[in-house]
Structure 1
Amino acid sequence: MSKINSYKDLLIWQKGIILVVKVYKLVKTFPQEELYALTSQIKRASVSIPSNICEGYGRNTDKSFSHFIDISRGSLNELETQLIIAKELDFITDFNLYNEIVSLIEEESKMINSFSKSLK
Protein backbone atom coordinates (compact mmCIF):
# COMPACT_ATOMS: atom_id res chain seq x y z
CA MET A 1 0.00 0.00 0.00
CA SER A 2 1.31 3.44 -0.87
CA LYS A 3 2.11 5.98 1.83
CA ILE A 4 -0.40 8.73 2.43
CA ASN A 5 1.40 12.07 2.62
CA SER A 6 -1.66 14.28 2.28
CA TYR A 7 -5.44 14.12 2.30
CA LYS A 8 -5.09 14.61 -1.46
CA ASP A 9 -3.70 11.06 -1.66
CA LEU A 10 -6.95 9.63 -0.28
CA LEU A 11 -9.16 8.13 -2.96
CA ILE A 12 -12.27 9.06 -0.97
CA TRP A 13 -11.20 12.71 -1.10
CA GLN A 14 -10.39 12.52 -4.85
CA LYS A 15 -13.79 10.94 -5.61
CA GLY A 16 -15.42 13.59 -3.44
CA ILE A 17 -13.90 16.35 -5.59
CA ILE A 18 -15.14 14.65 -8.77
CA LEU A 19 -18.59 14.42 -7.21
CA VAL A 20 -18.61 18.15 -6.40
CA VAL A 21 -17.70 19.09 -9.98
CA LYS A 22 -20.42 16.86 -11.44
CA VAL A 23 -23.02 18.15 -8.98
CA TYR A 24 -22.23 21.77 -9.85
CA LYS A 25 -22.68 20.94 -13.54
CA LEU A 26 -26.00 19.23 -12.83
CA VAL A 27 -27.56 22.06 -10.84
CA LYS A 28 -26.73 24.71 -13.45
CA THR A 29 -30.01 23.86 -15.17
CA PHE A 30 -32.19 24.01 -12.04
CA PRO A 31 -34.88 26.71 -11.94
CA GLN A 32 -33.58 30.16 -11.01
CA GLU A 33 -36.02 30.41 -8.09
CA GLU A 34 -34.24 27.41 -6.51
CA LEU A 35 -30.85 29.15 -6.54
CA TYR A 36 -30.98 29.97 -2.81
CA ALA A 37 -33.00 26.94 -1.81
CA LEU A 38 -32.45 23.37 -3.02
CA THR A 39 -29.63 24.29 -5.41
CA SER A 40 -27.66 25.92 -2.61
CA GLN A 41 -28.27 22.99 -0.23
CA ILE A 42 -27.14 20.48 -2.85
CA LYS A 43 -23.94 22.41 -3.52
CA ARG A 44 -23.17 22.76 0.19
CA ALA A 45 -23.77 19.07 0.88
CA SER A 46 -21.49 18.04 -2.00
CA VAL A 47 -18.70 20.40 -0.93
CA SER A 48 -19.00 19.16 2.64
CA ILE A 49 -17.99 15.62 1.65
CA PRO A 50 -14.35 16.19 0.62
CA SER A 51 -14.05 19.16 2.99
CA ASN A 52 -14.77 17.02 6.06
CA ILE A 53 -12.40 14.31 4.84
CA CYS A 54 -9.70 16.96 4.56
CA GLU A 55 -10.49 18.50 7.94
CA GLY A 56 -10.52 15.12 9.66
CA TYR A 57 -7.18 14.20 8.13
CA GLY A 58 -5.72 17.43 9.47
CA ARG A 59 -6.76 16.63 13.03
CA ASN A 60 -4.02 13.95 13.26
CA THR A 61 -5.94 11.47 15.43
CA ASP A 62 -7.93 8.46 14.28
CA LYS A 63 -10.76 9.31 16.67
CA SER A 64 -11.12 12.83 15.31
CA PHE A 65 -10.65 11.65 11.72
CA SER A 66 -13.37 9.05 12.26
CA HIS A 67 -15.72 11.77 13.52
CA PHE A 68 -15.21 13.86 10.39
CA ILE A 69 -15.59 10.80 8.16
CA ASP A 70 -18.97 10.27 9.85
CA ILE A 71 -19.92 13.87 9.05
CA SER A 72 -18.82 13.31 5.45
CA ARG A 73 -21.02 10.21 5.27
CA GLY A 74 -23.95 12.24 6.58
CA SER A 75 -23.38 14.89 3.91
CA LEU A 76 -23.27 12.18 1.25
CA ASN A 77 -26.64 10.85 2.45
CA GLU A 78 -28.02 14.39 2.55
CA LEU A 79 -26.84 14.97 -1.04
CA GLU A 80 -28.46 11.77 -2.22
CA THR A 81 -31.78 12.72 -0.62
CA GLN A 82 -31.69 16.23 -2.07
CA LEU A 83 -31.01 14.86 -5.56
CA ILE A 84 -33.96 12.48 -5.21
CA ILE A 85 -36.13 15.47 -4.28
CA ALA A 86 -34.81 17.43 -7.27
CA LYS A 87 -35.60 14.52 -9.56
CA GLU A 88 -39.12 14.19 -8.14
CA LEU A 89 -39.65 17.90 -8.75
CA ASP A 90 -38.50 17.48 -12.38
CA PHE A 91 -35.48 19.75 -11.90
CA ILE A 92 -33.13 17.14 -13.42
CA THR A 93 -32.67 17.56 -17.17
CA ASP A 94 -29.41 15.68 -17.78
CA PHE A 95 -30.23 12.10 -16.79
CA ASN A 96 -26.87 10.75 -17.94
CA LEU A 97 -25.08 13.12 -15.57
CA TYR A 98 -27.61 12.37 -12.83
CA ASN A 99 -26.98 8.63 -13.20
CA GLU A 100 -23.20 9.20 -13.11
CA ILE A 101 -23.64 11.11 -9.87
CA VAL A 102 -25.86 8.41 -8.36
CA SER A 103 -23.22 5.80 -9.21
CA LEU A 104 -20.49 7.99 -7.72
CA ILE A 105 -22.55 8.41 -4.54
CA GLU A 106 -22.93 4.64 -4.22
CA GLU A 107 -19.21 4.11 -4.79
CA GLU A 108 -18.23 6.90 -2.40
CA SER A 109 -20.58 5.51 0.25
CA LYS A 110 -18.95 2.08 0.11
CA MET A 111 -15.48 3.62 0.22
CA ILE A 112 -16.32 5.89 3.16
CA ASN A 113 -17.84 2.98 5.10
CA SER A 114 -14.77 0.83 4.48
CA PHE A 115 -12.39 3.65 5.36
CA SER A 116 -14.34 4.42 8.52
CA LYS A 117 -14.05 0.81 9.68
CA SER A 118 -10.28 0.97 9.20
CA LEU A 119 -10.08 3.90 11.62
CA LYS A 120 -12.00 2.19 14.43
Structure 2
Amino acid sequence: MSFKFEKLKVWQKSIDLADEIDKLTKTFPKDEIYVLTSQMKRAADSISLNIAEGSTGQSNPEFKRFLSYALRSDIEVVNCLHLALKRGYISQEIFDKYYASCEEILAMLSALIKTLK
Protein backbone atom coordinates (compact mmCIF):
# COMPACT_ATOMS: atom_id res chain seq x y z
CA MET A 1 0.00 0.00 0.00
CA SER A 2 1.32 3.43 -0.84
CA PHE A 3 0.41 6.88 0.33
CA LYS A 4 -0.93 9.49 -2.10
CA PHE A 5 2.09 11.78 -1.69
CA GLU A 6 4.55 9.04 -2.67
CA LYS A 7 3.19 9.18 -6.22
CA LEU A 8 3.77 12.93 -6.54
CA LYS A 9 6.87 13.80 -8.56
CA VAL A 10 7.24 17.04 -6.64
CA TRP A 11 7.45 15.07 -3.39
CA GLN A 12 10.08 12.76 -4.90
CA LYS A 13 12.14 15.74 -6.10
CA SER A 14 11.84 17.44 -2.72
CA ILE A 15 13.10 14.28 -0.98
CA ASP A 16 16.09 14.28 -3.34
CA LEU A 17 16.75 17.96 -2.64
CA ALA A 18 16.60 17.40 1.13
CA ASP A 19 19.11 14.57 0.83
CA GLU A 20 21.44 16.71 -1.28
CA ILE A 21 21.15 19.67 1.10
CA ASP A 22 21.96 17.38 4.02
CA LYS A 23 25.16 16.29 2.26
CA LEU A 24 25.99 19.87 1.26
CA THR A 25 25.62 21.31 4.75
CA LYS A 26 28.04 18.72 6.14
CA THR A 27 30.75 20.75 4.35
CA PHE A 28 29.82 24.01 6.14
CA PRO A 29 32.01 25.29 8.99
CA LYS A 30 31.25 23.76 12.39
CA ASP A 31 30.33 27.15 13.84
CA GLU A 32 27.30 27.17 11.48
CA ILE A 33 25.92 23.87 12.79
CA TYR A 34 23.22 25.51 14.92
CA VAL A 35 22.67 28.42 12.58
CA LEU A 36 22.71 28.21 8.77
CA THR A 37 23.28 24.44 8.60
CA SER A 38 20.32 23.70 10.84
CA GLN A 39 18.05 26.26 9.19
CA MET A 40 18.85 25.09 5.67
CA LYS A 41 18.33 21.41 6.53
CA ARG A 42 15.03 22.12 8.30
CA ALA A 43 13.76 24.21 5.38
CA ALA A 44 14.71 21.54 2.84
CA ASP A 45 13.10 18.79 4.93
CA SER A 46 9.99 20.91 5.42
CA ILE A 47 9.21 20.90 1.70
CA SER A 48 8.52 17.16 1.52
CA LEU A 49 7.06 17.03 5.03
CA ASN A 50 4.39 19.59 4.17
CA ILE A 51 3.55 17.90 0.87
CA ALA A 52 3.11 14.59 2.69
CA GLU A 53 1.16 16.00 5.62
CA GLY A 54 -1.26 17.92 3.45
CA SER A 55 -1.88 15.22 0.88
CA THR A 56 -3.68 12.56 2.84
CA GLY A 57 -7.14 12.92 4.31
CA GLN A 58 -7.32 16.63 3.64
CA SER A 59 -9.69 18.76 1.63
CA ASN A 60 -8.31 20.52 -1.44
CA PRO A 61 -8.21 23.90 0.36
CA GLU A 62 -6.31 22.30 3.24
CA PHE A 63 -3.91 20.55 0.85
CA LYS A 64 -3.31 23.89 -0.91
CA ARG A 65 -2.45 25.44 2.44
CA PHE A 66 0.20 22.79 3.11
CA LEU A 67 1.54 23.12 -0.43
CA SER A 68 1.92 26.86 0.14
CA TYR A 69 3.99 26.06 3.26
CA ALA A 70 6.14 23.74 1.14
CA LEU A 71 6.55 26.51 -1.43
CA ARG A 72 7.69 28.95 1.26
CA SER A 73 10.18 26.41 2.59
CA ASP A 74 11.56 26.01 -0.93
CA ILE A 75 12.09 29.77 -1.11
CA GLU A 76 13.75 29.65 2.31
CA VAL A 77 16.25 27.13 0.94
CA VAL A 78 17.01 29.58 -1.88
CA ASN A 79 17.72 32.31 0.65
CA CYS A 80 20.00 29.96 2.59
CA LEU A 81 21.84 29.22 -0.65
CA HIS A 82 22.41 32.96 -1.12
CA LEU A 83 23.80 33.21 2.43
CA ALA A 84 26.06 30.20 1.90
CA LEU A 85 27.37 31.69 -1.35
CA LYS A 86 27.93 35.10 0.21
CA ARG A 87 29.79 33.54 3.15
CA GLY A 88 32.00 31.52 0.82
CA TYR A 89 30.72 28.09 1.88
CA ILE A 90 29.66 27.11 -1.64
CA SER A 91 30.80 27.94 -5.16
CA GLN A 92 28.70 29.65 -7.80
CA GLU A 93 28.44 26.31 -9.60
CA ILE A 94 26.99 24.58 -6.52
CA PHE A 95 24.67 27.53 -5.92
CA ASP A 96 23.39 27.35 -9.51
CA LYS A 97 22.78 23.61 -9.27
CA TYR A 98 20.62 23.81 -6.14
CA TYR A 99 18.98 27.04 -7.21
CA ALA A 100 17.78 25.27 -10.37
CA SER A 101 16.41 22.39 -8.27
CA CYS A 102 14.53 24.86 -6.08
CA GLU A 103 13.14 26.62 -9.16
CA GLU A 104 11.92 23.30 -10.55
CA ILE A 105 10.22 22.38 -7.28
CA LEU A 106 8.65 25.85 -7.07
CA ALA A 107 7.20 25.47 -10.56
CA MET A 108 5.87 22.00 -9.77
CA LEU A 109 4.29 23.15 -6.50
CA SER A 110 2.72 26.16 -8.20
CA ALA A 111 1.26 23.95 -10.93
CA LEU A 112 -0.11 21.48 -8.38
CA ILE A 113 -1.69 24.30 -6.38
CA LYS A 114 -3.42 25.58 -9.54
CA THR A 115 -4.97 22.15 -10.17
CA LEU A 116 -6.63 22.20 -6.73
CA LYS A 117 -8.94 25.18 -7.32
Q: TM-score, normalised by structure 1?
A: 0.90
Matched residues in 2 for 1:5 and 1:28: separation?
Answer: 31
- Output aligned runs, 1:38-53, within 5 Å: 38-53=36-51
Name which structure has the greater RCO, CA cutoff 8 Å, separation 6+: 1
Matched residues in 2 for 1:5 and 1:83: separation?
Answer: 31
Look up the SS of the partner of 1:45 in the other structure. helix
Identity of aligned residues (%): 34
Q: Say which of 112, 116, 119 aligns to 2:113.
A: 116
- Output aligned runs, 1:97-116, within 5 Å: 97-116=94-113
Gaps of 5+ in 2: none
Shift in Å at residue 100 of structure 1?
2.3
Q: TM-score, normalised by structure 2?
A: 0.92
Look up the SS of the partner of 1:91 in the other structure. coil
The amino acid of 1:75's aligned partner reads S
Q: CA RMSD in A?
A: 1.5
Matched residues in 1 for 2:90 and 2:58: separation?
Answer: 40
Superposed CA offset, 1:62-108 (max 9, x none): 01100000000010011100110111011115x54433211111111
